[in-house]
Structure 1
């Protein structure tokens, strides 16, 4: 069973062309790639996975420069959350698309959309266009995600931003992406099983639960706007903010009712979600990743604003977290085969992440040595790495008696991770913006005009703007930014603590009993080896 959990994402169309009617038919119709075609498809899918995973982390060290370019510090929330928002919105639909429509053209279409989103980000003349580009890239990136790019992301983002400009963080996707498009067009020709009764276009669309997707996306956009604007651009009790929260409540209720009516064909199938261990695993996955992504995005802000690091330096400074996360995932993945319960990893990972987030709140402007932020990052990375893949493994173990539901369970976990990432960025951005404005006024003594000047300048030019306009306030301004950033870290402290508590709701199942009962483990491996089946793995990196 453990082999099925080692993939980092649901299998791509290159791996799962279409579900056959029976195992014997699968063997009869199997088409094996060899020679040039095999290496062409491997190169194409590997480049795609690398680029899309790179896009999740490359922006973290570039955001200060982007806010400076567009004079848009308040939009920092959307720079980080737009990409995972569309990822989570389309995640449940992607598997259906590859079984209803041609896997070859579905994959190609989504990847081209991702490249168009990258191009839109690169040429964006303003903040709104850039956010739109991030959303488009996230929609197109749904079919392939997470590889070695998450490790190189912060360094590449910092290097490109510092040496040639932040726009190249997105332009770099275009020539490399052309390789994927060309190789898959030439070599990727998977067989597609035709249904006994061909479906009409209308019947195909009805299977996708598009209404559920629209309701969910609309509700989340409204709550994200309310969190971004509330207390910053508009008072919390303003009619606009109240209307946004009301709209969110109405649409999320409508979404829940609709999903219940849809049954197993729903975007979020409640029959699977409401199983005890599945539900708690999904909630844990959402909270764990939401707690992890806050440091991923706000540590580079602290490095560049408070410490005065360059974008490249801030990327290098993030390596302890990324490397320890990778090592933690490998360590837990190996030992998971030998320890008869997955539950201890939930508690260990969430507790380490909670401790690391709490330690981040002790940062000061002038007395935080590298030993502290390096060791804190190691705890953070280990916490996420040790626990991130466990919800996926637990869901597989829980649904082992219902193999057909395993892909749905894995889809729910991945959905929760993307959703948690998007929502966390919005909450973190709201905390940062509200506290920063208050701190700059009350503690740094700046008036509203000076505050607006500082915010318009962007985070990459905080020191430069202060030196030019009010140099006597430099230390106080840095203290204000330090206070605003470390207050954001209280959110992951809370989130990981709640995740620790929720881990107690996951049933303790002895995996040795499962493996020895009626060959259950072999059934899961066989199910996941069928073309069209989804495989899951760790979505630990942002």
Structure 2
């Protein structure tokens, strides 16, 4: 039963097929209700109706707003995404100063991991809340949380308070990212959806690029506390702007349970599952991100993972990770592929500025500029793929594999060229190519996921994919950072032992683990030892990232190219959030990769 061989499936009074507008099944069914006699009266009439419906859906968005509202929504969303991204990348150039002020050199990798864990774990909850309270209310709340987190972070007297502030900002960021995708899916036509997803990614990219540069440049003048504080009023303004730009009638595009109160809907959110999911991730990442691998937290994470799976399968009315979607081979493997690929990508975003500071001796502001070419490539790759190729619904299996394979190859080159002698233009060109490949890959894999999954699950499938991308940042920063720190610490200790002894240098080693800016203050043999240690750390880091990325190419290939087909409306069982779960026959088909 191939995805390209089936135009649609008749159910109830309407037609559902893989090319129906995302999240717009209610509208699609309403439009074809009047054609019931034709659809059931003959085969040719049904085919004509399907063809006309597909053409109409290609050029019509699920929900529409005026041009002025559309412009204001675009600007406000771009502003929030930009602030969120710059908040993340700014850490890479301010990390040394923050670690020094808070005396948290060994815990520096958690500056980013805390934010990303909160963001990724709260994304599914944000999607549920957007359905209950409407996207306009939720995105304003998300902007306020992001602002509060910035204030708490800026005033933090110690590491604990700093990380609490980062977690609050991450919760707000979850709402920002999730609702941004809701707006794109609801307000754009299928033909233009690819380019708008690319533009949304470009907003994130610009924030990542300029955040590292601007924060690094302003750090000596205003300090890191002012940089976090300054983002708060800007986020509130953007949140207010988008709140008043979205009509009150705007919805997330999902069905609600008729007659259900807000209290009953809130009660069905899987809070317990979210708690155990976050606990599992924190324990697992803590065990692998430490200078020495901690076995007890890793073992505890396995226990909490088992409890989480039990809750999702046996207790939760509305699981935080939808079981029905994960029974699809395409959806499950797409998410795993995104997790590994983006974890590898985040090592580039986090550690190329560190490379520039430690080995090249660049200032924090200059080091941030190393992200400009890779993020420029990311934006161009995503926009180009969406504008020139992704203009249809259907399989993008081969383009996904090709772009991922090229991305993996660039990581191999990073592992070999991250040395003091590599020409700067060559290194920047490599960064540009890396961004081009991953930017196009993310657009292709998202389009392919929409082909693999039934239209009725597109909203939750894209939300789940976003969640795994968020997890990837946590895994890339924590696990990759932990591996880097372990290699760096070992190389520093061995290098100093061979050159004058380690005694008296223990404090220097501790500080170097979280402050690459200290390298520029060293001279002679000490500097040579430290540069060599950092170089070996980068080689191991990006070689490992390349291995993971190549494995993810195989995982992506296993998703297949056969499209998903919706089950009949009459066969669907309602669940807590009204998304619906297909019947047992459909679930068995999903398990076989349909």
* TM-score for the superposition, normalised by structure 2: 0.74
Alpha carbons of structure 1 residues 327 and 38: separation in structure 2 relative to 1, 3 Å? closer
Query: What is residue 293 of structure 1 aligned with on the other side?
Result: 346
- Asked if the contact 1:158–1:312 (Cα under 8 Å) also holds between the matched residues in 2, the reply is yes
Alpha carbons of structure 1 residues 417 and 187: separation in structure 2 relative to 1, 3 Å? closer
Query: What is residue 88 of structure 2 aligned with on the other side?
Result: 56
Post-superposition CA distance 1:183-205 (Å, at most 9, x none): 3565655137896424262x223
Unpaired stretches in structure 1, ≥5 consecutive residues: 1-15, 519-531, 533-542
Selected match of 2:391 from 310, 328, 337: 337
Selected match of 1:450 from 505, 509, 525: 505
- Asked if the contact 1:83–1:138 (Cα under 8 Å) also holds between the matched residues in 2, the reply is yes
Query: What is residue 132 of structure 1 aligned with on the other side?
Result: 164
Using the alignment, how far apart are the partners of 1:174 and 1:75 within structure 2?
Answer: 25
Query: What is residue 382 of structure 1 aligned with on the other side?
Result: 436
* Aligned-CA RMSD value: 3.4
Using the alignment, how far apart are the partners of 1:299 and 1:364 within structure 2?
Answer: 9
- Is the deviation greater in 168-177 or in 115-124? 168-177
- Asked if the contact 1:64–1:301 (Cα under 8 Å) also holds between the matched residues in 2, the reply is no
Give the deviation of 1:506 after TM superposition: 1.9
Using the alignment, how far apart are the partners of 1:501 and 1:195 within structure 2?
Answer: 40
Using the alignment, how far apart are the partners of 2:329 and 2:440 within structure 1?
Answer: 22
Give the deviation of 1:261 after TM superposition: 2.7
Give the deviation of 1:465 after TM superposition: 4.8
Query: What is residue 70 of structure 1 aligned with on the other side?
Result: 102
Give the deviation of 1:164 after TM superposition: 2.8
- Asked if the contact 2:119–2:174 (Cα under 8 Å) also holds between the matched residues in 1, the reply is yes
Query: What is residue 113 of structure 1 aligned with on the other side?
Result: 145
Query: What is residue 466 of structure 1 aligned with on the other side?
Result: 522
Alpha carbons of structure 1 residues 195 and 354: separation in structure 2 relative to 1, 3 Å? closer
Using the alignment, how far apart are the partners of 1:329 and 1:461 within structure 2?
Answer: 33
Give the deviation of 1:289 after TM superposition: 0.7
Query: What is residue 540 of structure 1 aligned with on the other side?
Result: none
Alpha carbons of structure 1 residues 345 and 69: separation in structure 2 relative to 1, 3 Å? farther
Query: What is residue 280 of structure 1 aligned with on the other side?
Result: 333
1:155-194 correspondence to structure 2 within 5 Å: 155-184=213-242, 190-191=248-249
Alpha carbons of structure 1 residues 189 and 323: separation in structure 2 relative to 1, 3 Å? closer
- Is the deviation greater in 131-140 or in 454-463? 454-463
Using the alignment, how far apart are the partners of 1:185 and 1:508 within structure 2?
Answer: 39
Alpha carbons of structure 1 residues 509 and 281: separation in structure 2 relative to 1, 3 Å? same
Give the deviation of 1:297 after TM superposition: 0.6
| 1:318 to 2:376 alignment | no
Selected match of 2:487 from 435, 451, 475: 435
Using the alignment, how far apart are the partners of 1:51 and 1:365 within structure 2?
Answer: 32
Query: What is residue 199 of structure 1 aligned with on the other side?
Result: 261
Aligned partner of residue 371 in structure 1, secondary structure? helix
Query: What is residue 153 of structure 1 aligned with on the other side?
Result: 211
Using the alignment, how far apart are the partners of 1:95 and 1:340 within structure 2?
Answer: 25
Using the alignment, how far apart are the partners of 2:27 and 2:136 within structure 1?
Answer: 17
| Higher Rg of the two aligned structures | 2
Post-superposition CA distance 1:155-194 (Å, at most 9, x none): 2232222443233432231231232244356565513789
Using the alignment, how far apart are the partners of 1:504 and 1:474 within structure 2?
Answer: 45
Alpha carbons of structure 1 residues 425 and 397: separation in structure 2 relative to 1, 3 Å? same
Query: What is residue 521 of structure 1 aligned with on the other side?
Result: none
Using the alignment, how far apart are the partners of 2:291 and 2:363 within structure 1?
Answer: 32
Aligned partner of residue 265 in structure 1, secondary structure? coil
- Asked if the contact 2:268–2:318 (Cα under 8 Å) also holds between the matched residues in 1, the reply is yes
Aligned partner of residue 72 in structure 1, secondary structure? coil
Query: What is residue 285 of structure 2 aligned with on the other side?
Result: 224
Select the structure with the greater relative contact order (CA < 8 A; seq sep ≥ 6): 1
- Asked if the contact 1:324–1:382 (Cα under 8 Å) also holds between the matched residues in 2, the reply is yes
- Is the deviation greater in 354-363 or in 177-186? 177-186
Using the alignment, how far apart are the partners of 2:176 and 2:135 within structure 1?
Answer: 13
- Asked if the contact 1:301–1:459 (Cα under 8 Å) also holds between the matched residues in 2, the reply is no
Give the deviation of 1:466 after TM superposition: 3.0
Unpaired stretches in structure 2, ≥5 consecutive residues: 1-22, 34-59, 178-200, 567-578, 580-594
Give the deviation of 1:213 after TM superposition: 0.4
Using the alignment, how far apart are the partners of 1:335 and 1:20 within structure 2?
Answer: 27
Query: What is residue 267 of structure 1 aligned with on the other side?
Result: 320
